Structure 1
Amino acid sequence: MESTEATNPKAYARLTGACYLGLGVAGIFGGFLAIAAQVVPGDPVATAQNLALNGGMVRAGILAWMLTLVLDVVVAWGLYVLTRPADTRLSVLMAWLRLVYVAVHAGAAANLARALRYAEGGGHLEAFGTDQLAALASDALLAHRTGFEIALLFFGLHLGLLAVLLWRSGFMPKLIAALLCASSAAYLVNAVAFLGLATYDRYAALLLGLVSVLAIVAELALAGYLLAVGIRTEPWLRADEKRRTA
């Protein structure tokens, strides 16, 4: 593996870029088109009705979320391989932060299945009224959102360390590193605000808009560069040789 990595880092870069784009597409479908589209703000009953009526779409969305987590593991590994020559210890921490994000997000995603179960009712849930089941489904969706924001704290830290590694190493343009740093800050500010501010709803539109724009620009730039260019081979090989002989 060592010799393959040394002679063909661009293959790892392009695999990582392809997985990054794949998880982006799956995440947009699962998070927005399949699940978030069913939510009616301030109306738990209408939300539960939408979930029940579009159960197949919601299940597909949950599976899409699971696919993103699998691809995230591959991306964590690929980014570790690509940044290891710059700083082995920092790249390990960077990759582990993404894996922690995956683990926390996976736990939170279980609440999506719970929300759908409440919305569809039946079985022992017939003991509950329609309004009660709608409230339980709404609470499960909130539990998912809360867990997801906790996961994004780790993801934001991951992006920050990735930005540092890319800036220092010169393996990619510094503009990409700067965009990742800005995206990291946006993720962290939004997650802290969501978890710590009782008045978060006042700022939600602004913060979520900022996160969305920066995340799309930064991570699309990263994935696009990995696919189109790969990585700057000469500085990568020099750094890798130095690491091997240290």
Structure 2
Amino acid sequence: MKTTINQNRRQKAAILSGAALLIMTISAFFSYGYVHGSIASGDGITTLKNIQLSGSLFELGIIGWIVIILMDLLVSWGFYVYLKPIHQGYAIAAGWLRLLYTVMLATAVSHLVMANNTAGEASFNGSVDITASKVMASFASFESIWSAALIIFGLHLMAVGFAAWKSKHIPKIISSLVMAAGVSYILVHLMYRALPQFEGVTMLLETILMAPMLIGELGFGIWLLVKGRKVTSAD
């Protein structure tokens, strides 16, 4: 009876985690790929004006980030439940690392909320330069905190990949891609933080590694939806 309950929990965890990862991917493309790319600029005045002219879009982007945070919490639970029968130690590490990453992401997103509030309260009777500087400081804090969080995220993926490697049912190509994604996140964002003078090289490396970074976790999510939910044995 207990075995059946645990199997049902794993199947539900596989479905919910896979669905959450797909929702998260779509939200990330919208909030970061489209909204952030449209609003953020290297110039403070331009960024401030972009927020003021596209306030609704920027707020939708923040809502998208909130969706991502909620999905991350669901994935933290789902991965732990699914991976625990395979390797409890890696499952615990993966769960806690994902939770830590999610807390850091939420902290980073709070700075986007601050930027939105600053832009909304700005009065052009005052100093536009000061307001623009505050907005840019909020964007810089978002980028810095999220970059640090992505190092933790990479460690999380490494733990997931190690656990998946020990499974008889998860294909080795899936676990290898997850681990490759983890290494990519760690390498790129360590370089951003430790070697800022080589930002151009790091950006090129990030572009090259974008495929494994995206395919790794998303591939595991698709596998969970298609195959993982059918697994009935302990591993």
Deviation at 1:7, TM superposition (A): 4.7
In structure 2, the partner of 1:17 is 18
In structure 1, the partner of 2:151 is 153
- Superposed CA offset, 1:192-234 (max 9, x none): 1111113142224213313432222112211111111225625
Query: CA distance change for structure 1 residues 229 and 135 in 2, over 3 Å: closer, same or farther?
Result: same
TM-score, normalising length: structure 2: 0.92
Query: CA distance change for structure 1 residues 8 and 137 in 2, over 3 Å: closer, same or farther?
Result: closer
- Superposed CA offset, 1:20-64 (max 9, x none): 101111121111212222122x32211111111111111111111
- Superposed CA offset, 1:76-97 (max 9, x none): 1111111101111221111100
- Distance in 2 (CA, whole Å) between partners of 1:83 and 1:171 is 12
TM-score, normalising length: structure 1: 0.88
Coordinate RMSD, CA, aligned: 2.0
Deviation at 1:127, TM superposition (A): 7.3
- Superposed CA offset, 1:99-143 (max 9, x none): 000001101111101112233343xx6674112211221111010
- Distance in 2 (CA, whole Å) between partners of 1:127 and 1:92 is 54
Match of 2:50, as an amino acid? N
- Superposed CA offset, 1:142-195 (max 9, x none): 100000011111110000010000011223111011111111111001111111
In structure 1, the partner of 2:28 is 27
In structure 2, the partner of 1:105 is 105
In structure 1, the partner of 2:37 is 36
In structure 2, the partner of 1:80 is 80
Ranges in structure 1 where 5+ consecutive residues have no aligned partner: 240-246
Percent identity over paired residues: 24
SS in 2 for 1:51: helix
- Distance in 2 (CA, whole Å) between partners of 1:216 and 1:57 is 25
Match of 1:46, as an amino acid? T
- Distance in 2 (CA, whole Å) between partners of 1:9 and 1:110 is 33
- Counterparts of 1:121-136 in structure 2, within 5 Å, are 121-122=121-122, 128-136=126-134
Ranges in structure 2 where 5+ consecutive residues have no aligned partner: none
- Distance in 1 (CA, whole Å) between partners of 2:137 and 2:210 is 24
- Distance in 1 (CA, whole Å) between partners of 2:3 and 2:192 is 43
In structure 1, the partner of 2:227 is 229
In structure 1, the partner of 2:165 is 167
- Distance in 1 (CA, whole Å) between partners of 2:64 and 2:18 is 18
